[in-house]
Amino acid sequence: MYSDIPGGTPPYVYHFNSGDECGNYNGEGDCYNREHSFPKSWFNDAMPMYSDLFHIYPTDGYVNGKRNNYPYGKVGNASWTSQNGSKLGNCTVTGYSGVVFEPIDEYKGDLARTYFYMATRYYTEDGGWAGSEMVTGCLPKPWALAMLRQWAAQDPVSQKEIDRNNAIYQIQNNRNPFIDHPEYAEAIWGTSAGITNPAEAVSVSVYPNPVQDYCTITLSNFMPVNNEVITLSNMAGQHINIPVTFQDHSLVLNTQALPKGIYLLQLHSSDFSVNLQTKILK
C-alpha cells in the first residue's frame, strides 16, 4: 500500500516465500514485513487485535519503519516521501497538526474502511487500550473521523478489497462490513438521519442511546406508527429479531437480550412513504 502504484509500474515487487521477507533493511526495496495499520502500541500489543488480518498489510520494511506508529493524515510539507508517493510530515487536517503519514489516494478508502472495522469489531472491548492522537480506544477522534469519512467517499471499494475480504473470511470467519456495505459508514457516523422521500420532515429521537434494557424511538406527531415495519441489523448485515410495542407516537424496543455492539435500525412507513435509518448502540 505504501509501495504499490495501481495502474502503473511499482518501484519494486516482492514475492512471498522467496527470501524477500525481512530481515534487515537499509532502504526501500530491501525486504517486506507486515504492518499493523492500526499500530499495535495503540492496543498494547494485545490479542486478538495483534493478529487480526483486517488491519494487517504486507509493507516494505523501510517504509513501515518510517510510518512508525504515526496517525494517518493529510501532509502539508513532506519531510519524507516514499517511491510511490506516500508522505510523512505535519498534518493539515483541522483539529490536529502533529506528524502524520499520508498514503496515496488509491489506498485511502481501504485504510478508512479498515479503521471503521476496528471501531465496530472492538467496540466495548477496548478498555485499557493506550490509544493515540488519532483514536480513543478503538474509536477515531473527531478530526480523524471526518477525514476517514472523506477518504472512504473519495476512494470507493475496489475489487482488490473485495477479494481480500473474501480471503480473510475463509481464515477468520468474519468480514469487514464496510467493504460489503460501504454505506454503513455514513449510516453510523453521518450527520443525516437517513430519511428519504418523506411527506414532510420527520423528527425522531432515540432514548437512551446507548440502549439499556429498553429503547424508545419517538416520532413527530403527524406520523402514526401502526403500519410501521422495523428492521434491526448488526454490522454483518444479519437481521436481529427483538420485541417491539407501539405506544402513541413511539416505538419501544425490548433490547434486554441484545448483545453489545452497533446496530442499524430501519423503519418504513407505508402511510407516509418514509424510510428512516438510524443507529443504536449497546
pLDDT digits (tens, 9 = 90+) for 79-137: 999 999 999 999 999 999 999 999 999 999 999 999 999 999 999 899 999 999 999 99
- Return the CA Rg of the chain: 22
**Per-residue cell: 112:** 478508512
Residue 262 above 90 pLDDT?
A: no
Residues 6+ apart with CB under 8 A from 12: 3, 28, 29, 60, 83
User: Which amino acid is it at 39?
Assistant: P
Identify the three-state secondary structure at position 281. strand
pLDDT of residue 228: 60
pLDDT of residue 191: 57
Cα(152)–Cα(181) distance, rounded to whole angstroms? 12
Cα(2)–Cα(209) distance, rounded to whole angstroms? 39
pLDDT of residue 263: 87
Helix 159-172 / helix 108-121 crossing angle, nearest 10 deg: 30
Please give the CATH architecture assigned to the domain spanning 192-281: Sandwich (2.60)
Of 82, 129, 135, which Cα lies nearest the Cα of 107? 82
Cell 410501521, located at residue: 228
Query: What residue segments make up the domains of the chain, in order of their start?
Result: 32-188, 192-281
pLDDT per residue over 176-222, tens digit each?
999 999 988 988 887 544 434 444 455 567 778 888 888 887 765 44
Is the preceding omega at residue 210 within 30 degrees of 0, hence cis? yes
pLDDT of residue 237: 76
Cα(215)–Cα(255) distance, rounded to whole angstroms? 7
Write the burial class of residue 90 (CB in 10 Å: 0-12 exposed, 13-18 middle, 19+ buried): middle
Write the burial class of residue 84 (CB in 10 Å: 0-12 exposed, 13-18 middle, 19+ buried): buried
**Per-residue cell: 67:** 510510518
Cα(205)–Cα(217) distance, rounded to whole angstroms? 6
Residue 247 above 80 pLDDT?
A: no
Pairing between β-strand 274-281 and β-strand 239-240 as defined by DSSP bridges = unpaired
Cα(181)–Cα(161) distance, rounded to whole angstroms? 12
User: Which amino acid is it at 98?
Assistant: G
pLDDT per residue over 27-73, tens digit each?
999 999 999 999 999 999 999 999 999 999 999 999 999 999 999 99
